Structure 1
Amino acid sequence: MNNSMKIFKIFGIDIKLHFTWWFVFALIAWSLSSTFFPQFFPNLSNQMYWIMGITASLLLFVSVLLHELSHSLVAKAKHIKVESITLFFFGGVAGITKEDMKPSSELQMALAGPIFSLMLAGIFYLIYIFNGNIFWTAITYYLWQLNLILAIFNLIPGYPLDGGRAFRALLYMYYKDLRKATKIAVSFGRFFAGVLIFFGIFGLISGVGSGLWFIFLGGFLYFIGGVSYEQVIIKEVLGKIKVSELIDKKFVKLSSKMLFSDFVKKYENSVNDIFIVKDTDFFGIINLNEIRKMPFKMQQNINLKQISLPMHQLRTLNVDDSAYDAFKSFAEQGLDLLPVIAKGKLLGVITKKKVLHRLVWDLKFGINKKFVFKVKKNLKSMPKIKK
């Protein structure tokens, strides 16, 4: 997830914070300090309420992290790669790279989070009951309820919630068709999202409850469910296509010793934004979108090697990779062109434009016409790649 910063690493998994986390952390801390704790635990100082609010907010996000970590550790036990966990405004998301896992593995992964949240709710409840310190009594009173809500909410059988993922896994076992299972699970998720939006609107009209929050949450779930189904279609289509079928062996290859000023003169009319830079002693790419504006004098003193991104910092593709691997790499690295390597040799390049063209072609307008229209609209907005 973009706009995130890594804070630490545990069990080989990067733990990241999305920038939206800070806003929600501040909002929850303020809400607890100014309303929740004064209401349920009166006659304490404002300073104590703020310490309680900040501590409870931190422990809430630790709870969310442990919820996501339980998913991830089950995935790693199933030999599924987990790159990161990102905490953001809605909760957390685990960066699990494998979508077409065995349904039994997905079922266990999906249920691990809510089960752990139920365990946390029980632990916090016991501390709340038997603890005599007002500070921890107040904090655990809040945390046992929130973890219980987190567990119950996630068990709702609507994709992409944990319960929806478990439901999809069961459907996948029955139908042996991931796309059909995803479509049904997403439909349940969108129905639930609609219910949330309805209650949100009702809350706004009647002045009861957190109407805006329900509307926002429902809209978010509705959107994410649709994106998840589209990803399944994209993977199904592009996963059957090899990079070797889409490789372009006619491409511009520049010398690393070439001055940037000469490069600008020669290629100022090019529609490309990305160029391959390769010599016997250097291999990299230039991404014009990442290069800052330079004075002309500076351009005359800088060669392409100095402003190129070395290939070892990129994820390259080989001929046996799928077009879906290329599709993911374009998104992850923010590039529209990637080199294709075989046995250390540069064979050619593959472009995002060509992958999307093939995606539209292979869909044949029969799977989801609205989805095809969306892909074609995205395709038209892209600059053409010069061959």
Structure 2
Amino acid sequence: MEASIRLGRIRGIEIGLHYSWLLVFALLTYSLAAGVFPSWYPGWNPGTYWAVGALSSLLLFASVLAHELGHSLVAQSRGVPVVSIVLFIFGGVAQLADEARRARDEFLIAVAGPLVSLVIGTGSILLWQPVEGVNQQLGAVLEYLGWANLILVAFNSIPAYPLDGGRVLRAVLWGAMRNVLRATRIAAGIGVAIGFLFMAGGLFLVFRSPLSGIWLIALGWFLQNAAQQSYQQLVIRRFFEGVRVGQLMDPDPPTIAPDLTIDQLVDALLAYNVRSFPVVEDGRLVGIVTLTDVRHAPRAEWPVRRVRDLMTPRERLITATPDDDLERVLRLMAAHEIHQVPVVDDSRLLGLLTRNALLRFLQLRQEVARTPDEVAAIYAEQRRARNLPRITD
């Protein structure tokens, strides 16, 4: 999931908000200010309810961020890179650039988040009444924060993959069966089943409490969908194990110069029937320009503005080398929602790896059920038969 609003970095991990977070923040603040706190603490003025509600919402999401940082920092300590943490409508998600390589590491990463929430929850409950005697509003915030974090721990402990409880279950099964794919299939199947139970419960509840029922249906849909996707992603990664970027990259992609106008760029996009170009100057990769970049430029500026004004510069690009493991690059492409990765040696462009090439390779391997090297050779032969550039050296 890509962040809509980037907040900064912690330990090299990009922190961001998805646009859906704004909606749930507004709804939660309204619920607290108009319902929860007036019933808990009658007699405050309306402004106080809204201020305490907004502060409680912010601190709850700060707790969710701390929960995801718990996962992320343990993952980093176990050698698993973390790309980003994104807060969204259902809480937060830490996007790892790799899978844990051992069941023990998966277990430690999974339990770290709930442990952080447990500490925040119990600490807030213990501080609640002493603080309330001094400042009722701050006490109210601590009361809500405490119970909310304990509920978060209980929810995440449900053994439904990819919730934390489901990841713990997968780690236990993985350690017992010595087979991560089988363990993931079982844990994901349980996650799908629990997701459908949530949806069924939501359908029953919607007639008594429409908002709560709709929320439970949405949560169940998200859970079963996430479980299915997580397993499918693992299967796809296993298909790409042992394959190198150089085997699938296009070694002779069309490129464009940075000083061409947008009009000339559009003509080139249409002529080559592509959505993007690596931007090359003096043999060096200086950026990438895409059709999306063009759409952001006013039509009147196309004859005068240059490619270099639109392109994503080299320092902001995710790149690979021919010897990089394809599975790792695939994870980065998925995490950042990008469709192409330049293959470079220092600043020299060697080729371009595209999502279409990955999909064709995956389809071919599923059809012929052979080893990655054999499939790469067949794929290369198909490209040569169509008079396309070679994908292997």
TM above 0.5, yes or no, is yes
Q: Distance in 2 between matches of 1:263 and 1:128?
A: 62
Aligned-partner residue type, residue 195 of structure 2: A
Say if 1:261 and 1:296, in contact at 8 Å, map to a contact too.
no
The offset of 1:358, in angstroms, is 0.7
Alignment check: 8 A CA contact 2:2 2:337 kept: no
Task: Choose which of 350, 355, 358 in structure 2 pairs with 1:355.
Answer: 358
Residue 175 of structure 1: aligned partner: 177
Aligned-partner Cα distance in 1 for 2:214–2:301: 55
RMSD: 2.8
Aligned-pair distance for 1:313? 2.9
Amino acid at match of 1:269: A
Contact 2:319-2:344 within 8 A present in 1 as well:
yes
Separation (CA, whole Å) in 1 of partners of 2:9 and 2:315: 22
Q: Distance in 1 between matches of 2:49 and 2:268?
A: 66
**Alpha-carbon distance in structure 1 between the residues aligned to 2:58 and 2:11:** 21
Report the alpha carbon displacement of residue 327 of structure 1 after superposing the two structures with TM. Answer: 3.0
Q: Secondary structure at the match of 2:84?
A: strand
Aligned: 1:35 with 2:35? yes
Distance 1:298 1:209 in 2: 48
* Corresponding residue for residue 195 of structure 1: 197
Count of equivalent residues: 368
Tell me if structure 2 keeps the 8 A contact 1:85–1:93. Answer: yes
Residues 24 and 259 of structure 1: CA distance in aligned 2, closer, same or farther (over 3 Å): closer
The aligned counterpart of 2:49 is 49
Q: Which moved more, 1:240-249 or 1:212-221?
A: 240-249
Matched, 1:139 2:145: no
Which one of 276, 286, 291 corresponds to residue 288 of structure 1? 291
Name 1:377's counterpart in structure 2.
none
Would the alpha carbon gap of residues 198 and 320 (structure 1) be closer, same or farther in structure 2, given more than 3 Å must change?
same
Corresponding residue of 2:278? 276
CA contact (8 A) 1:197 1:218 kept: yes
Q: TM-score, normalised by structure 1?
A: 0.85
Over 3 Å counting, the alpha-carbon distance change for 1:46 and 1:334 in structure 2 is: closer
Where does residue 381 of structure 1 map in the other structure?
Answer: none
Distance 2:269 2:92 in 1: 44
Which stretch shifts more, 254-263 or 53-62?
254-263
Distance 2:117 2:301 in 1: 61
- What's the secondary structure of 1:269's corresponding residue? helix
Q: Check whether the contact 2:97–2:332 (CA below 8 A) recurs between aligned residues.
A: no
Q: Give the distance between the partners of 1:266 and 1:26, measured in 2 at CA.
A: 45
Measured in 1, the distance between the counterparts of 2:80 and 2:313 equals 29
Amino acid at match of 1:164: G
Q: Report what 2:384 is aligned to.
A: none
Change (3 A) 1:315 1:14: closer
**1:317 corresponds to which of 296, 316, 320:** 320
Give the letter for the 1:235 counterpart: R
Which sections of structure 1, spanning at least 5 residues, go unmatched?
367-385
1:235 aligns with 2:205: no
Counterpart-to-counterpart distance in 2, 1:91 and 1:335: 24
| CA distance in 2: counterparts of 1:143 and 1:294, whole angstroms | 47
Q: Hey, what's the Cα distance between the residues in 1 that align with 2:356 and 2:60?
A: 43
- Offset, 1:256: 4.7
Distance 1:31 1:344, change over 3 A: closer
| Aligned match of 1:64 | 64
Distance change in 2, residues 1:54/1:271 (3 Å): same
- Paired residue secondary structure (2:271): coil
Cα 1:161/1:262, change in 2 over 3 Å = closer
Q: Distance in 2 between matches of 1:154 and 1:344?
A: 45
- In the TM superposition, 1:36-115 aligns within 5 A as 36-115=36-115
Task: Extract unaligned runs of 5+ from structure 2.
Answer: 370-387
Q: Which residue of 1 aligns with 2:375?
A: none
Contact 1:282/1:305 (CA < 8 Å) preserved in 2? no
With normalisation by structure 2, the TM-score equals 0.84
Q: Secondary structure at the match of 1:364?
A: helix
Report the alpha carbon displacement of residue 311 of structure 1 after superposing the two structures with TM: 3.1
Deviates more, 1:214-223 or 1:140-149: 140-149
**In structure 1, what residue type is equivalent to 2:235?**
I
What SS is found at the alignment partner of 1:202?
Answer: helix
Q: Could you tell me how far 1:305 is from its partner in structure 2? A: 4.9
Contact 1:203 1:209 in 2 (8 A): no
| 1:216 corresponds to | 218
Q: Shift of residue 42 of structure 1? A: 1.6
Q: Distance in 1 between matches of 2:264 and 2:19?
A: 40
Structure 2 CA distance for aligned equivalents of residues 8 and 279 of structure 1: 31
Deviation at 1:91, TM superposition (A): 0.6
> C-alpha distance in 2, partners of 1:266/1:44?
65
| Counterpart code for 1:315 | I
Q: 1:253 to 1:102 in 2, by over 3 A?
A: same
Deviation at 1:79, TM superposition (A): 2.7
Residues 71, 110 of structure 2: 8 Å contact kept? yes
Displacement, 1:29? 1.1
2: CA distance, partners of 1:117 / 1:11: 20
Conserved in 2, the CA contact under 8 Å of 1:256 and 1:282? no
3-state SS of 2:206 partner? helix
Identity of aligned residues (%): 33
User: Structure 1 CA distance, aligned partners of 2:28 and 2:140?
Assistant: 15
Q: Tell me the equivalent position of 1:376.
A: none
